[in-house]
């Protein structure tokens, strides 16, 4: 058996520097710096030679160090909740718009063992210059405190009187579209699964009650307490199944609760939409799947994300701007979980 090699390892290879690139091209380090900062002062030919030399040497500019030296991180912190499909859609829209405007994105998630305060403090400790809050249920005082520390925008929730910008869909209008459609199909017994403290839930609840009254169905209106998660839909389904008779339609406060309801109904052998119609809210990517095919109210995740990024970067550039709210239009998307009542 050969003896192990006891010789000390050699020094790690030295990383190439900007000075190495300058020496390879035969120009000053300052000129190379101009090229990598995309500043005027170098010809196109020189820029190409510098980039080619950097590639040959394996040199990569240290953007983090450059930003640190300038006192900027150019990073947007995004607060998300795990297991929320629509928030995943929003994150997918945030990245390209932030990058287009020259910013990086850092995510911090809440979970049953990790509250919003801890998640936000983690973002701020990593020197995020601004916050984008997805589906936050923090109280007004805490939101206002965050908004006064760094530019902050909420997606999906409106709360006047605080130093936080907001972008959301016209919630009550979206719910009204859903109720109008169900009534046109012939439904009267339309139940609403409430979203609890979830983003937009209060407006959706108010919109449901107002739409039922407008159709003369105020006595039929019924709100089942819930939340914006799958378990709330399962619990609501089990509650309805335990009663003497089912309603003819259920409007859930979001798609995730609607999917929990569909799961409970499916296990009990209830035919959707033959026996009961189900409508969600969000139009998350899961609602498109053929096995789900959920009728839902569409929120445009990409546009919500784009507006949120622009609002928060606008406030970074001009902190004196007044608090702004952007409201987008919802759209009912009819799929396979709705039909006339039996």
* Closest CA relative to residue 308, chosen from 169, 187, 177: 169
Tell me which residue of 151, 158, 145, 110 sits closest to 132, measured CA to CA. 151
Cα 272 to Cα 255, 295, 340: the distances in Å are 15, 11, 11
Mean pLDDT per 10-residue section of the chain, whose length is 342 residues: 51 74 83 72 83 82 53 86 88 94 92 90 92 90 94 90 94 97 98 93 96 97 96 98 96 96 97 97 87 94 97 94 95 97 93
Distance from chain centroid for Cα 15: 38
Residue that has been written with the tokens 């006595």 in this structure:
219
Q: What was the pLDDT predicted at 38?
A: 67
Res 241: pLDDT: 97
Q: pTM for this one?
A: 0.77
What does the chain come to in residues? Answer: 342
Per-residue tokens: 117: 């305060």
Q: Could you read off the pLDDT of 263-293 as tens digits, one per residue?
A: 999 999 999 999 999 999 999 988 888 789 9
pLDDT at 132: 97
Among the listed residues 176, 172, 175, 179, the one whose alpha carbon sits nearest the alpha carbon of residue 158: 172
pLDDT confidence of residue 32:
76
Pairing of strands 104-110, 249-252: unpaired
- Alpha helices, H only, 26-170: 29-36, 44-57, 63-70, 85-100, 116-125, 140-149
pLDDT for res 175 = 97
């Amino acid at each position: 058996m050969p003896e192990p090699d006891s010789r000390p390892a050699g020094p790690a290879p030295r990383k190439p520097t900007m000075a190495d690139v300058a020496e390879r091209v035969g120009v000053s380090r300052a000129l190379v710096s101009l090229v990598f900062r995309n500043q005027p002062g170098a010809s196109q030919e020189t820029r190409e030679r510098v980039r080619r030399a950097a590639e040959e040497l394996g040199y990569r500019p240290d953007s983090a160090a450059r930003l640190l030296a300038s006192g900027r991180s150019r990073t947007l912190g995004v607060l998300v909740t795990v297991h929320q499909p629509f928030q995943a859609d929003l994150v997918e829209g945030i990245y390209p718009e932030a990058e287009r405007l020259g910013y990086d994105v850092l995510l911090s998630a809440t979970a049953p063992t990790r509250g919003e305060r801890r998640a936000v403090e983690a973002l701020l400790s990593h020197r995020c210059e601004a916050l984008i809050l997805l589906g936050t249920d923090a109280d007004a005082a805490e939101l206002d405190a965050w908004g006064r520390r760094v530019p902050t925008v909420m997606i999906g929730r409106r709360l006047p009187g605080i130093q936080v910008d907001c972008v959301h869909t016209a919630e009550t209008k979206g719910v009204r579209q859903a109720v109008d459609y169900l009534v046109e199909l012939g439904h009267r017994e339309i139940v609403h699964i409430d979203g609890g403290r979830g983003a937009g839930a209060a407006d959706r609840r108010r919109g449901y009650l107002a739409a039922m009254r407008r159709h003369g169905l105020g006595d039929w209106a019924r709100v089942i307490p819930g939340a914006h998660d799958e378990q709330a839909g399962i619990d609501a389904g089990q509650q309805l199944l335990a009663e003497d008779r089912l309603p003819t339609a259920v409007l859930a406060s979001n798609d995730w609760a609607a999917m929990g309801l569909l799961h409970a109904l499916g296990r009990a052998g209830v035919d959707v939409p033959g026996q009961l119609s189900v409508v969600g809210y969000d139009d998350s990517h899961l609602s498109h799947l053929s096995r789900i095919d959920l009728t839902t109210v569409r929120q445009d995740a990409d546009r919500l994300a784009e507006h949120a990024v622009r609002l928060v970067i606008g406030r970074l550039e001009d902190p004196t701007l007044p608090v702004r709210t952007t409201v987008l239009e919802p759209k009912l998307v009819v799929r396979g979980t709705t039909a006339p009542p039996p």
